[in-house]
Amino acid sequence: MSTLEATGVGSHPGEDHFEALRVVFGELPGLPYLPELPARGVGADLVGRTAGLLVDLAVEVQPSGWRLADRPGRDHQRAVDHLRRDLDGLEEVGHDYTGPLKLQVCGPWTLAGAIELKYGDKMLSDAGAVRDLIASLAQGVEDHVAEVRRRLPGVTEIVLQLDEPGLPGVLAGTVPTASGFGRLAPVEGWRVSESLPLFGDPIVHCCAPSVPLRLLRTAGVRGVSLDASLLSRRDDDALGEALEAGLLLFLGVVPGTDTRLADAGVVARPALDLWRRLGFPPDKLAGQVVLTPACGLAGASPRYARAALAACRKAAQVLRDDPASGLQPG
């Protein structure tokens, strides 16, 4: 993407995937995405939806959550069916679309911290199981991207987003065991760094505190997606290094749940303030920063979800048209 575009994080309220798609393509013509609707239940949630993409690994729902299974059953099939209906809707709504499209999947480390082994702890506790999961997910994502390209031949590029809200906990060793009474051992950073290139050049989204910016930069990802309100000056050095290395910054600037939205200039302010603080030239801003909601919109009202995406688009226009005016010291 050579110029700034606004986009969303992924999830939407409600159960009408056609309506969600119409909102996304209507409000975000520069970088639409395939929305997720977790309110539909089992298999539409972040973990289940992505688990349905796994190759040669089946899952099922137990009282404790998702678990590996011997063979695909009803829960696995629900996840597959939800995604198939979403792709049918995407093909119908976006049939004449030309441009980039964003797809979101749960990242391998958050997934490993959520899915349990058949008779034991979470997959994250077993290095061999994690390797199998990463390989299975990488193949499943590759197949998913190919399917989207087949259905929408006008798509010029796929922007792949790995949702990794659990990554800081994986690295810090704070992920609870399946019993909940203990914590899983921390994962070495190099293991995470080695895994991410298997997904091409993804955007890594993490709306939790302590996003591992230096690790993601050295892993060679295309960009990072985070909540602007969780950034502090302590992050400036690592974020500056990432931006100087050419990473894209997907910056969450409006809340993910209903609130009164400010005008475009105020919504754009976190990006402008950050850019000025880091000392980067104004003409680089539009090519490197993408404005988004702070996190998914599943907890918002449908009306607010639409307004939040529109607010991001309008704020992006402010940055693109006259970034220098907002970068003057106040």
Report the share of the chain in percent with pLDDT over 90. Answer: 89
Work out the pLDDT band at 246, boundaries 50, 70, 90: very high
User: Number of structural domains, the chain?
Assistant: 2
The stretch 275-298 carries a mean pLDDT of: 93
Same domain for 47 and 145 = yes
pLDDT tens readout for residues 47-67: 999 999 999 999 999 998 999
Same domain for 195 and 59 = yes
Same domain for 250 and 312 = yes
Same domain for 320 and 188 = no
Boundaries of domain holding 276: 7-27+222-330
Question: Within a domain: residue 284?
Answer: yes
Q: Which pLDDT does position 2 carry in this prediction?
A: 44
Question: Within a domain: residue 215?
Answer: no
Same domain for 118 and 16 = no
Question: Within a domain: residue 35?
Answer: no
Same domain for 58 and 196 = yes
Question: Within a domain: residue 216?
Answer: no
pLDDT tens readout for residues 176-221: 998 888 999 999 999 999 999 999 999 999 998 999 999 999 999 9
Q: Quote the pTM value.
A: 0.95
The stretch 287-297 carries a mean pLDDT of: 96
> With 50 as the cut, is the pLDDT of residue 329 above it?
no
Question: Within a domain: residue 150?
Answer: yes
Instruction: Say how far apart CA 211 and CA 227 lie, in whole Å.
Output: 10
The stretch 23-32 carries a mean pLDDT of: 97
Question: Within a domain: residue 234?
Answer: yes
Same domain for 316 and 187 = no
pLDDT tens readout for residues 129-159: 999 999 999 999 999 999 999 999 999 999 9
3-state SS string for the chain: CCCCCCCCCCECCCCCHHHHHHHHHHHCCCCCECCECHHHCCCCCHHHHHHCCCCCCEEEEECCEEEEECCCCHHHHHHHHHHHHHHHHHHHHCCCCCEEEEEEEECHHHHHCCCECCCCCEHHHCHHHHHHHHHHHHHHHHHHHHHHHHHCCCEEEEEEEEECCCHHHHHHCCCECCCCCCECCCCCHHHHHHHHHHHCCCEEECCCCCCCHHHHHHHCCCEEEEEHHHCCHHHHHHHHHHHHCCCEEEEEEECCCCCCCCCHHHHHHHHHHHHHHHCCCHHHHHHHEEEEECCCCCCCCHHHHHHHHHHHHHHHHHHHHCHHHHCCCC
Rg of the Cα atoms in the chain: 19
Report the share of the chain in percent with pLDDT over 70. Answer: 96
The stretch 80-95 carries a mean pLDDT of: 97
The domain that holds 267 is classified in CATH as 3.20.20.210
Work out the pLDDT band at 323, boundaries 50, 70, 90: low
Average pLDDT in the chain? 94
The stretch 67-90 carries a mean pLDDT of: 96
Same domain for 180 and 51 = yes
Same domain for 242 and 172 = no
The stretch 108-120 carries a mean pLDDT of: 95
Same domain for 57 and 23 = no
Same domain for 279 and 189 = no
Domain boundary among 166, 201, 236: 201
Domain boundary among 170, 201, 232: 201
Query: Cβ distance 268 to 311 under 8 Å?
Result: no
Same domain for 99 and 147 = yes
Question: Within a domain: residue 208?
Answer: no
Work out the pLDDT band at 3, boundaries 50, 70, 90: low
Q: Are strands 58-62 and 65-69 parallel, antiparallel or unpaired?
A: antiparallel
Domain boundary among 201, 235, 257: 201
